Structure 1
Amino acid sequence: MASVYDALHERRSSSKVSDEAPSHDEILELVEAAGQVADHSGLTPWRVIEIRGESRRLVGESLAAASGLHGHDAEKSIRKSFRAPLLLAVVVSPRPSVKVPYWEQEAVASGVAHALTLLLHERGYGAMWRTGIQTRSEPVRIAHRLGSDEQMLGWIYTGRRVDRPRERRRSRIDVARHVSTL
C-alpha cells in the first residue's frame, strides 16, 4: 500500500478516463473515508451528489445557461459533462455555529473533495476536479437542488484511469518560498 506521501506525489488530474466508474456502494465507502478530514466541532458541513447517465446533461445545461450559451455553443458545452461516467458534485452545506465560521466550513468541504481524489486515485480511478465562474450561479444552484445556504464547490469527474502510470513528478513548487519561520 502506498503511503500518503507517495499518493500526493503520484496523483495527477486525469482528463481521459474510461466508461468504468465506481459503484454507488464504493462511493459510499470512499465518502465515509474522505469525511474523516479535520472538522472543527464535527459539523460535517458538506455533501456529495452522485451524477451518472443522462443526469450529467443537467450539469452541462446549467453551465451553458450560466455562461449565456445557446444553440451549437451550448450543445458543445453540454457535451463536456459527459467526459466521465460519474460526476461527484461537492457542496458546502454550512451549519449554524458560533465557533466555526463559514470559511472554515468551506475548507472542510474542500478537504473532503481533495481526500476523495486521493482515494479514487488509490483505487485506480482517474479524477479531475472542475470548477469555474459558473459554479455558484443560479442555474447551477437550481439544477443541483441546492438549499438556499448551500454553495457548489465543483465536480470531481471520475472514471477508470486509462493513462499509463507515471513516475513520481518533481515538485512544482519552490518550497523555500512557501515555508517561513516566525
Structure 2
Amino acid sequence: MSSAFEAARARRSWSKVTDAAPSHGELLELVSAAGRVADHSSLKPWRLIELRGDDRKALGRAINKAEGHKGASTKPQRAPLLIAVVASYRKSKVPRWEQEAVASGVAHMLSLLLDEAGWGVFWRTGGYTRDKAVAKAHGLEKNEELLGWLYVGGKPHRSRGGHRKPLDASRFVSRMPGGKKH
C-alpha cells in the first residue's frame, strides 16, 4: 500500500513531546501539501497560526482569562510549537459547515504529514477555543473561528501506550437502507 495508507494506520496522538520542533521552513513545506485537501470551489477557508516561545505564554494568559483564572495556563507549554487551526469562512454558496470541514481536513492532513516526518503531534481543543479572549490573542476576524491547536514536538524515544488497536471498519460502514447486503 501507499505511504499515505501507512501514515494513516500508524497515526496516534503524542501527548508528551520533546523540545525539538520543525523549523518554519519545514512547516511551510508540510502546509503546502496539507492545503491540497478537497475544497469545494477552492475557497481555502482556513489559515494556520504558528505559536512558539512567548506566543505560548500569551496564549496561556488568554486561556486562563477565558476560564476565569489569573496568571497563565501551562497547557501551551506542553509542546515547543503550537499550530492554531482557524476556519476562515468565505462568502460563498459553499455552506459554513463544509468550509469548517475543509479547515479540519487541512489540520488532520498536516498532523499526518508531521507524524510521517518524525514529529509527535496531538490536537487540543476545549471550550475556550470559542472565547473572546482567546480569539483576540490570535487576532481572529469576525468571519473566523478557532478549531484548536496542533501541539508539535519531538517524539520521545520511549513511549507508553504503544500502538492503537486496529479499527474494525465493518462497525462503521453500512449500506443505504433497503440496499442489497454484501
Q: TM-score, normalised by structure 1?
A: 0.90
CA distance in 2, matches of 1:153, 1:121: 20
Match among 152, 167, 170 for residue 176 of structure 1: 170
Stretches of structure 2 that go unaligned for 5 or more consecutive residues are 177-182
What is the CA deviation profile of residues 130-161 of structure 1, one whole-angstrom value per residue up to 9, with x for unaligned ones? Answer: 00111011011100000011000000000111
The alignment of Structure 1 onto Structure 2 pairs a total of residues equal to 175
What is the CA deviation profile of residues 75-118 of structure 1, one whole-angstrom value per residue up to 9, with x for unaligned ones? Answer: 4xx212111100000100011102x1000000000000000110
Equivalent position amino acid for 1:120 in 2: L
Q: Which residue of 1 aligns with 2:29?
A: 29
Identity percentage over the alignment? Answer: 54
1:16–1:163 contact (8 Å) kept in structure 2? no
* Cα RMSD after superposing both structures: 1.8
Q: Which residue of 1 aligns with 2:89?
A: 94
1:141/1:3 CA distance change after superposition, 3 Å: same
Q: How does 1:1-182 map to 2 (within 5 A)?
A: 3-70=3-70, 74-75=71-72, 78-98=73-93, 100-164=94-158, 169-172=164-167, 174-182=168-176
2:120–2:153 contact (8 Å) kept in structure 1? yes
- How far does residue 33 in structure 1 lie from its aligned partner after superposition? 0.4
Secondary structure of the residue aligned to 1:97 is: coil
Equivalent position amino acid for 2:84 in 1: A
Secondary structure of the residue aligned to 1:103 is: helix
Flag as ranges the 4+ runs of structure 1 deviating above 2 A. Answer: 163-172, 174-177
CA distance in 1, matches of 2:26, 2:15: 21
2:12–2:163 contact (8 Å) kept in structure 1? no
- How far does residue 167 in structure 1 lie from its aligned partner after superposition? 6.5
Equivalent position amino acid for 2:44 in 1: T
CA distance in 1, matches of 2:5, 2:39: 21
CA distance in 1, matches of 2:166, 2:158: 20
1:130–1:154 contact (8 Å) kept in structure 2? yes
CA distance in 1, matches of 2:165, 2:57: 37
CA distance in 2, matches of 1:163, 1:148: 42
CA distance in 1, matches of 2:157, 2:62: 30
Stretches of structure 1 that go unaligned for 5 or more consecutive residues are none
1:125/1:114 CA distance change after superposition, 3 Å: same
Equivalent position amino acid for 1:62 in 2: A
- How far does residue 29 in structure 1 lie from its aligned partner after superposition? 0.6
CA distance in 2, matches of 1:45, 1:167: 35
Q: TM-score, normalised by structure 2?
A: 0.90
Secondary structure of the residue aligned to 1:68 is: coil
